[in-house]
Amino acid sequence: NETNSSNFIRNIIINDLETGKHDSIITRFPPEPNGYLHIGHAKSICLNFGLAKEFNGKVNLRFDDTNPVKEDVEYVNSIKEDVQWLGFDWNNLFFASDYFDEMYNRALLLIKKGKAYVCDLSPEEMREYRGTLTEPGKDSPYRNRTVEENLNLFERMKNGEFKDGEKVLRAKIDMSSPNINFRDPIIYRIAHASHHNTGNKWCIYPMYCFAHPLEDAIEGITHSICTLEFEDQRPIYDWFVRECEMENIPRQIEFARLNLTNTVMSKRKLKQLVDEGIVDGWDDPRMPTISGVRRRGYTPESIRNFCSEIGVARADSKVDSQLLDHFLREDLQPKAPLVMGVLKPLKLVITNYPEGQTEMLDIENNAKDETKGTRQVSFSRELYIEQEDFMEEPIKKYFRLFPGNEVRLKGAYFVKCTDVIKDENGNVVEVHCTYDPETKSGSGFTGRKVKATIHWVDANNCKPCEFRLFEPLILDDAPENEGKHFLDQINESSIEILQGFAETTQLKDAKPLDKFQFVRNGFYSVDTKYTTDDKLVFNRIVPLKSSFKP
């Protein structure tokens, strides 16, 4: 069961419900709308929405939009679409920026309690004063401003009397705390920037460490699930909830973020790939974004099953992306109808087959499931086969087509190679064969056997298709590459584009995002951007077999 996977967070919730700490739970997924969601976010989405569903609780989609500079409605819309596509629905949709008034009032409360002050140190000075892991920090010279002075300055910050960076509001905690997060963290900064939701109403914006616990508390979140890098911030999270006298007390719980081999998983880096034109937008099928994998043909089910399988841990690790491929194949195998297509075509002529004749052959739609029925595939004197299914001078153990050898054409007849036609450079451009009418598939012929079956497409009745094959965008698996910049690790051959042909019947009504299993090749999805009336463009989701060597 997708949502029932046992994990330590689940156990915390069960305990909280059993002891009566909570009657019901509320979780949230809090993306910052500064980019498109990626597979890592999917893990967090599955977790938060999955737990809410399992325990009959609620889940909020909350845009953590407290930084006006990097945020955009384009991202807000894409995030909503992606969450829904993954198969989840939120109980409430919130924007953190809707709480700016309340946050401002809570900051005033801190000032009045003598727990916050306006500080004029420059960022460099502040870094110097903060100390290090081994050295305590020093008090800011502005630390002892009176409550009245702080109230006055903070109001003037809000009214736009100061420039960006001139002043900040800081919590007044402990400059010698061993936890650096307690050394008077900044809670408000000045940014004269227009916000996608609040426009020009504010020129001061709350910092994450202050805003996030308040957002959770305001919404009555019971379990605030975040990634491990926030573990050090948990004490300060609790401090803000307490000192701001919030009614609801959320609990922060950290889990390990998802890392995948050969994959960058940070919106900032993914945005760089987009901005520098290394990929064809956020939804490039090579991107690990939800919109990218959707366009490539990944299914929500396979992503959910994958997230459930990897589970929730407390220690960081890297998951092999081949595991995701496994769940894709498992999900697509029963769903994606079989189709024959040739990616690198070589003409095959059956010299003893009557010219101008066409026959329709009955071929199964799913090799493992008879109930999926059959389809009619046209067959004639001229076909296309894959270039790699013919060798003029066969290597050892090559059982496919070569002069004098006989193979089965899938769902059709045995053909025997009698001749080859070459161009002026000596390249084989046509293979000539004879066929044996007695060997027709399904006829029960047992007279002799062949060692290979190859697929084919009727050259007189086929659809021109473009096939796009992908390899990882990032080469990061070599240990010597550790520490290198990811832009130096770009795989220059992450896409191969081939012009081929496919049978017509199965693809008659093919439309963007329809998925097919190309015989002996892999799973493909119809591209949403490049497909035209004249040409189907297919993205390879995954090859049939893994080339993975454990």
Residues that bind Mg ion (CB under 5 A): 32
Contact partner, 31, from ligand ATP, Mg ion, none, Cβ < 5-8 Å per class? ligand ATP
Instruction: Name the minimum Å distance from CB 277 to Mg ion.
Output: 22
Pairing of strands 258-260, 317-319: parallel
Residue number, nearest CB to Mg ion:
32
List beta partners, residue 190: 204
Is 398 labeled as ligand-binding? Answer: no
Among candidates 74, 71, 78, 495, which has minimal Cα distance to 279?
Answer: 495
Nearer Cβ to ligand ATP, position 62 or 189?
Answer: 62
Contact partner, 227, from Mg ion, ligand ATP, none, Cβ < 5-8 Å per class? ligand ATP
Burial 233-267 (b: 16+ CB within 10 A, else e): bbebbebbbebbebeeebbbbbbbbbebebbbbeb
Among candidates 455, 492, 459, which has minimal Cα distance to 473?
Answer: 492
Nearer Cβ to ligand ATP, position 272 or 333?
Answer: 272
Among candidates 292, 343, 378, which has minimal Cα distance to 38?
Answer: 292
Q: Which two tokens stand for residue 332?
A: 């697509």
The conformation of residue 174, written as its DSSP 8-state character, comes to -
Backbone angles phi, psi at 450, to 5 degrees: -120, 160
Q: Which two tokens stand for residue 263?
A: 């994959």
Contact partner, 251, from Mg ion, ligand ATP, none, Cβ < 5-8 Å per class? none
128 a catalytic residue: no
Helices 39-54 and 73-85 sit at what angle, rounded to 10 degrees? 60
Nearer Cβ to ligand ATP, position 76 or 377?
Answer: 76
Contact partner, 155, from Mg ion, ligand ATP, none, Cβ < 5-8 Å per class? none
User: Which residue out of 2, 32, 54, 81 is catalytically annotated?
Assistant: 32
Nearer Cβ to ligand ATP, position 140 or 263?
Answer: 263
Instruction: Name the minimum Å distance from CB 115 to ligand ATP.
Output: 27
Nearer Cβ to ligand ATP, position 263 or 521?
Answer: 263
Rg (CA), the chain: 31
Is 5 labeled as ligand-binding? Answer: no
d(CA 69, CA 72): 9
Instruction: Name the minimum Å distance from CB 228 to Mg ion.
Output: 13
Instruction: Name the minimum Å distance from CB 316 to ligand ATP.
Output: 10
Is 265 labeled as ligand-binding? Answer: yes
Nearer Cβ to ligand ATP, position 88 or 467?
Answer: 88
Instruction: Name the minimum Å distance from CB 194 to ligand ATP.
Output: 21
Nearer Cβ to Mg ion, position 32 or 392?
Answer: 32
Is 40 labeled as ligand-binding? Answer: yes
d(CA 82, CA 71): 17
List beta partners, residue 414: 408, 436
Is 121 labeled as ligand-binding? Answer: no
Burial 69-84 (b: 16+ CB within 10 A, else e): eebeeebbebbbebbe
Contact partner, 44, from ligand ATP, Mg ion, none, Cβ < 5-8 Å per class? ligand ATP
Q: Both ends of the chain: CA-CA distance in Å? A: 27
Is 302 labeled as ligand-binding? Answer: no
Three-state DSSP at 94 gives: strand
Is 111 labeled as ligand-binding? Answer: no
Is 25 labeled as ligand-binding? Answer: no
Contact partner, 258, from Mg ion, ligand ATP, none, Cβ < 5-8 Å per class? ligand ATP
Is 363 labeled as ligand-binding? Answer: no
Nearer Cβ to ligand ATP, position 267 or 463?
Answer: 267
215 a catalytic residue: no
Query: Do the Cβ atoms of 353 and 380 come closer than 8 Å?
Result: yes
Going from the C-alpha of 509 to that of each of 145, 156, 411, 514, 529, the distances in angstroms are 73, 64, 22, 9, 17
Contact partner, 300, from ligand ATP, Mg ion, none, Cβ < 5-8 Å per class? none
Instruction: Name the minimum Å distance from CB 90 to Mg ion.
Output: 18
Instruction: Name the minimum Å distance from CB 12 to ligand ATP.
Output: 17
Residues that bind ligand ATP (CB under 6 A): 30-32, 40-41, 43-44, 64, 226-227, 257-258, 265-268
Please state the three-class secondary structure of 409-478 as a single string: ECCCCEEEEEEEEECCCCCEEEEEEEEEHHHCCCCCCCCCCCCCEECCEECCCCEEEEEEEECCCECCCC
Instruction: Name the minimum Å distance from CB 321 to Mg ion.
Output: 21
Is 545 labeled as ligand-binding? Answer: no
Contact partner, 345, from Mg ion, ligand ATP, none, Cβ < 5-8 Å per class? none
Residue number, nearest CB to ligand ATP:
40
User: Which residue out of 70, 257, 344, 416 is catalytically annotated?
Assistant: 257
Name the one residue in this structure whose structure tokens are 């929405």.
49
d(CA 100, CA 191): 14
267 a catalytic residue: yes
Task: List, by residue number, the catalytic residues.
Answer: 32, 257, 267
Residues forming the annotated binding site for L-glutamine?
64, 208
Residues forming the annotated binding site?
32-34, 38-44, 64, 208, 227, 257-258, 265-267
Residues forming the annotated binding site for ATP?
32-34, 38-44, 227, 257-258, 265-267
